[in-house]
Structure 1
Amino acid sequence: MRILFVAAEAHPIAKVGGMADVVGVLPKVLKQLGHDVRVFLPYYGFLPEKLTIPSTPIWQGYAMFHYFQIYETRLPDSDIPLYLFGHSAFLPKRIYHGEDEEWRFTLFANGAAEFCWNYWKPDIIHCHDWHTGMIPVWMHQSPDITTVFTIHNLAYQGPWRWKLEGMTWCPWYMQGHNVLAAAVQFANKVNTVSPNYAQQIRLPEYGEKLDGLLRFLGDKVTGILNGIDPDIFNPETDPHIPQNYSAETLDQRVVNKLALQEEVGLEIDRNKFLVGMVTRLVEQKGLDLLLQMLDRFLSYTDTQFVIMGTGERSYETQLWQMASRYPGRVSAQILFNDPLSRRLYAGSDAFIMPSRFEPCGISQMIALRYGSVPIVRRTGGLVDTVFHHDPITETGNGYCFDRYEPLDFFTCMVRAWEGYHYRREWRALQQRGMAARYTWEQSAQEYHALYNSIYGLPPTHGLPEASVALEKEPLTVS
C-alpha cells in the first residue's frame, strides 16, 4: 500500500512528545513489511540545522489564499521520503505555541490534502492528532483515498467549528463542534496509542466531552500499543552510559548509579534507593500528586530522587525549592538532555510515572529495558505495560496504584522502597522487566492489520512469511 504519514512531529528531527516516536520509527518498520511509506511534516525553521534539504522545491501549491512549497528529503538513517511543507508561518524555531497555532496547522493540513490530490496520491493517509484532523473530512469526497486517524492525546482537540469556518473550507456535510470531533467521525479507522486508553476515552472521566461520540463509534475506535526501538534503547550497547550491562550482568549496573549520583549532585551511596523521573512538567504527568507526597516520603525513608524535564514554571519552581530543602537527596534537572536521560534510566533503581492520564507512555518501556523498576498509576498505556509485582508468585514487573490520591501513591512508593531491600527478589524483578519486549515490529503488524481491515482483507494479507509467524507468537512480559 501507498501510505502517507502526516504529522506535526517526527523523531529525531522534531520532537516534543510521543507522537514523534511513532512517526519517526513506525514508517521504517512498515516499509520492511512491504509498504511504500512516506512522511509529510512542516518545514520548521530549525530543520536545516538537522537535515540536508534541497533549496529547490519539488512542487508548489495554493491553499487558504496562500502559496506554499514542498521540499523533498529523507528521514534520518533511512530511505523514507520526507516531504516538508514550506510556508513562512513555520519559519520560527518552534513546533507549538504562538497566537497563530490553530491557523498555521490548519493551513498545513490543507496543504497536505492538496499535495495528495495533485502530486502524490496515497492509498491511505495516516493522520496524527488534531493538527491533521481536517484531512479525513476533506478526503470524504475522495473515496479512492482512505484515512486512519491516530489520537495521541485527546485533551488537545483543535479549533472550534465557528473558528474553522473563518479560516478554511468546511464542507456542507461536515459534522462535529471542533477539529478532533470531526476527524473521528470521518476517518475510515480511528486508533489510540494503547488498548486501555481506547477504552478509557469512552468514559466521562477521560473522554474530554467526546466520550458519548466515541462510544457511538464502537469498534471503529481501537488501540494499538506504541513500541520502542530495542537497538536504540539498549543498555548493552548504549554509548551514553558509563557502564554497559545486560540482564545477566546486573551487578555491573551499580557503576551507572554511582556516576549518576555524582553527576546530578546526590550523595554517593550505592545502597540508597534512587528514584528517577523523566517527564514534561505538566499536570497530566502527576506533578501535583508527586509534590504533595514527596516531602513525607523523603522524611520516612532515606530515598534519593532525581527529576529531569521542563514545562510549567510553577512546577519548575516547586521542584527547585524541594531540591534546596533536601541537598544531596533531591536533584531537579530543569532541562531536556537525551544522553542524561539514558544515564538516569540506567542509574536509577526505580522510575515513577504517577500520571493523571497516559495515552501510552514510552518512558516506562525504556525504564523496563534498562532495569529501572517502574512505579506507575494504573491508567492508559501504563495498564498495558506495567504489572504489579507479587513477591509470592514472583510475577509482575513493577509497582502499581489505582486511585489518583497522594496516600495511594505514597503507599505504593513505600512498598517499592521496602521491596528494594530484598535484593535477590529485586534483581529477579529487574530481570523480568528487562525481558519484556515492546517493539515496533509488533505494533507495525497491528497497523498492517488495521490498514487491511479498511479494505476487508485478512489481518496478515501481504505480510512477509517471517512476519506472519511472528504475529502468531504472544507478546511476553516475564
Structure 2
Amino acid sequence: MPDRPLKILQVAPEIAPYAKVGGLADVVGAMTREFSQAGHDVRAIVPKYGFLEPDENWTALESPLSVHLGGGKEEYCRLWRMPYLDAPGQVYWIEFDKYFDRHEIYTGPWGSHADNHERFAFLSRAAIDYCHAFDWYPDIIHCHDWTTGLVPAYLNSTETGTPLVGAATVFTIHNLQHQGIYGRHVLDFAGLPQSLFRPDNLESVGNVNMMKSGLYNSTKLTTVSPTYGREIQEPALGCGLNHVLKFRAADLVGITNGIDTKEWNPATDPLIPANFNADDLSGKAVCKTELQRAFGLEETAEVPVFGAVARLFDQKGLDLLSAIIPQIMEEMVVQIVLLGAGDPALENEFKDLAARYPGKVGVFIGYNNKLAHLVEAGCDFFVMPSRFEPCGLNQLYSMAYGTLPIVRSTGGLADTVEQYVEGRGTGTGFRFEEVSSHALYYTIGWACSTYYDRPEDIAKLRYNAMTRDLSWSASAKVYGDVYRWARDARLRGLGIPSATSLSRSPFPVGG
C-alpha cells in the first residue's frame, strides 16, 4: 500500500526569501516547497518581523492565537497566512510586537537581543498552541536550530497527554556553534517542568541549553552535510556537545543542502549582464568584463579572477586570504575581488589591500545581491578557506556558474567539491586540508598554474561543475526518508503500528 501523504510542520526563525540570515532559511523554504508540491500538507510557523510588510497574498486570521506560557500566563498574537511562493505550502506568520517587531532577527549592532530566550521560547510554544487551536496534528514537526529546541521538550513533557503526543520531531543542526544558553528561569517562562533540568536533557553547566534540548528530546536529528555530522561528534568542532551527538549518533543523518536553481541559474539569471550555460560560456566572458569594471580592475580576459563573498569573521577564514595577498600580487598574475562585511579590522585590512594594489584587488564592504550574482558569474575561481563549514552555499552557486571553488576540506565543502585530478580533468574544484595561509597560497597557485598551463582541464572542470545536479530534489528525497523513519520510530515508542518497519536509519553519519 502506498504511504499516505504526511502532515509536516516547519518551525523556524527564518524562511527564504522573506526573512533570511543564512542557509537555515533556504532549507526551510526548500522543504516547504518540495514537500507541498509532492502532495504533503506542509505548514511553516515563522515570526513576523518588523521588516516584513503584508501584501495581497497575506491573509489575517480573524481569531488571535492564544499562547500558553508558564505560571498560567496567556498571551495573544495575530496570525497571518500566505501561500509559499509557487507551492501549495502555507506560511503562518506570528505577529507579536513585543518580541518580533524588530528589524533584526537575532542580533543588532549591540549584539544579541537580550530577550532572545523569551522570543524563541514564545515561538516554540506558539507552534504547539497553533496545532491545538486549529485541531491540526502533524506527523512531523521539523525544528531548526537552537531557536526551536524547546518544541521537542514540550512534546516529551507537557504534551504527552494530548493529541500531539504522536508527532515525531526532526531537529536540524545548522550551526552547532550557536546554542541558546540562558538561565534556569527559561523553564518557568516557557512552562516546562523543572524535571528537565538535568545533564541528560537540557541542562548545561548550570544553565538551560536550548540546542541541547533539541538534541536530547527530538526523535531524529539531521545536520546539513555528512562530513559536518561526523566532525561535530569530536571535541574540535563539537562545541561542548560532542558527547551528546556521539550518544545520538545512530539517529543523526547528514543531508547536504541544495540550492534554488531558479534564483541561481546562469542561463536565466536576470541579475547578470549576459546569460550562459555549460555548452556556451560566451556570456561568462561578458560577466567577467563587467565584474572587472564594477570593482575597478584592469579589464582583461587573460588574467584569472579569484573572488570571495562572505561574512568577515573567524569561521570563514578570509584572514588567511588577506595575509597572503601581498605575496600573491608579487608572484602571480591574478586579480582578486571581495564582497563582504563583518569584523571591522578585517574590513580595513581588505580596504588597505585594494588601495595598495589598484586595478588588481577590488573590495566592496557590505552586501549587494546583484553584485554577489556578478561575482559568481564573472570570476574564474571562488575562494572559501573556512575553518569549519556546516554546509556552505557559495561553493554550490559557484559550481552552477562555472566558477571553480577553492575550499578547505571541511564539512559540506568536502562533501560537495570534488578534488581536481591534474591531467585528467576530473573534479569540480580545488581542496586543501590545513588551516593555514601557507596551504591556501599553494592551492591558489595550483589553480593559477592550471588556468595558464592546462586550459583544457579548466574547461572540463567547468563543465563537470555546471552539469552537476545541485538542486534540492536529491536532498528532499533523503529528508522524506528521515521523516518516515522518525514517524515510525515515534509511533513504535507509543506502541502504535506504523506504515513501514524502519528501526534504524539506513544512512546515519555514525560515530
What TM-score results when the alignment is normalised by the length of structure 1?
A: 0.92
Instruction: Give the equivalent residue in structure 2 for 1:472.
Output: none
Distance 2:45 2:63 in 1: 13
| Of 108, 116, 134, the match for 2:131 | 116
- Residue 68 (structure 1) aligned with residue 91 (structure 2): no
Alignment of 1:194-343 (within 5 A): 194-343=225-374
> In structure 2, do the counterparts of structure 1 residues 230 and 33 end up closer, same or farther at CA, with 3 Å as the change threshold?
same
CA distance in 2: counterparts of 1:52 and 1:216, whole angstroms: 45
Other-structure match for 2:508: none
Question: Partner of 1:448 in structure 2?
Answer: 480
Deviation larger for 75-84 or 339-348? 75-84
Cα deviation, residue 161, structure 1: 5.1
- Assess if the C-alpha contact under 8 Å between 1:57 and 1:72 holds in 2: no
Q: Which moved more, 1:136-145 or 1:352-361?
A: 136-145
AA matched with 1:386: V
Moved more, 423-432 or 199-208: 423-432
Partner of 1:153: 175
The structural deviation recorded for 1:10 is: 0.8
For the residues of structure 1 that align with 2:348 and 2:57, how far apart are their CA atoms? 39
Q: Does 1:6 align with 2:6?
A: no
Q: Residues 358-399 of structure 1, C-alpha deviation per residue, up to 9 Å, x if partnerless?
A: 001111111001000000000000111002111233321100
Separation in 2 of the partners of 1:227 and 1:16? 17
Deviations 1:113-172 (A, max 9, x none): 221233232121100000100001101124211111000000000023524235322324
Distance 2:263 2:332 in 1: 35
1:413 to 444, 451, 455: 444
- Structure 1 alignment gaps of length 5 or more: 464-478
Q: 1:128 aligned to 2:144?
A: yes
Amino acid at match of 1:7: A
User: What residue is the counterpart of 1:471 in the other structure?
Assistant: none
CA deviation string 1:167-190 (max 9, x = no partner) = 322324422221111111110010
Q: Distance in 2 between matches of 1:352 and 1:436?
A: 19
Does residue 96 of the first structure (1) align with residue 106 of the second (2)?
A: yes
CA distance in 1, matches of 2:148, 2:40: 22
Structure 2 SS opposite 1:48: coil
What SS class does the counterpart of residue 447 from structure 2 fall into? helix
Per the alignment, in what secondary structure is the counterpart of residue 132 of structure 2? helix
Residues 265-289 of structure 1: per-residue CA shift (max 9 Å, x gap): 1111111110111111221111222
1:162 is the counterpart of 2:177: no
Matching residue of 1:23: 28
Code of the aligned partner of 1:417: C
Shift of 1:36: 0.8
Q: Retained in 1: the 8 A contact 2:60–2:78?
A: no
Q: State the Cα distance separating 1:252 from its structure 2 match.
A: 3.7
CA distance in 1, matches of 2:477, 2:444: 36
8 Å contact from structure 1 (residues 138, 171) kept in 2: no
Structure 2 counterpart of 1:60, one-letter code = L
Change (3 A) 1:275 1:163: farther
CA shift, 1:456, in A, is: 3.7
DSSP-derived class of the 1:41 partner: strand
Q: 1:456 to 1:102 in 2, by over 3 A?
A: closer
SS in 1 for 2:184: helix
Q: Please name the residue that 1:474 is paired with.
A: none
Unaligned runs of 5+ in 2: 1-5, 108-112, 490-497, 501-511
CA offset digits 1:77-122 (Å, max 9, x no partner): 3332110111112111221112222321221112112212332321
How far apart, in 1, do the equivalents of 2:56 and 2:365 lie?
Answer: 27
> What is the CA distance between 1:251 and its match in structure 2?
3.7
More moved, 156-165 vs 250-259: 156-165
3-state SS of 2:359 partner: coil
1:408-428 alpha-carbon deviations (Å, 9 max, x no partner): 111111101111112222111
Distance in 2 of aligned mates of 1:251 and 1:82: 41
Q: Structure 2: how far apart are the matches of 1:205 and 1:341? A: 32
Quote how far apart the aligned CAs of 1:294 are: 2.2
Q: Give the paired residue count.
A: 460
Q: Structure 1 residues 310-319 or 107-116, which shifts more?
A: 310-319
Contact 1:58 1:72 in 2 (8 A): no
Q: Which of residues 426, 429, 441 is equivalent to 1:395?
A: 426
Paired letter, 1:20 = A
Normalised by the length of structure 2, the TM-score is 0.86
Residue 308 of structure 2 contacts residue 383 of structure 2 at CA under 8 Å; is this kept in 1? yes
- Superposed displacement of residue 429, structure 1: 1.3
Contact 2:152 2:218 in 1 (8 A): yes
Identity of aligned residues (%): 35
Is 1:86 the equivalent of 2:118? no
Match of 1:54 among 59, 77, 85: 59
- The CA distance in 2 between the partners of 1:318 and 1:435, in whole Å, is 37
Q: Distance in 2 between matches of 1:163 and 1:374?
A: 46
Identify the residue that residue 143 of structure 1 maps to in structure 2.
Answer: 165
Check conservation: 1:59, 1:71, Cα contact below 8 A: no
Closer, same or farther in 2 for the Cα pair 1:378/1:58, shift >3 Å? farther
Note the C-alpha offset of 1:57: 4.5
CA contact (8 A) 2:424 2:457 kept: no
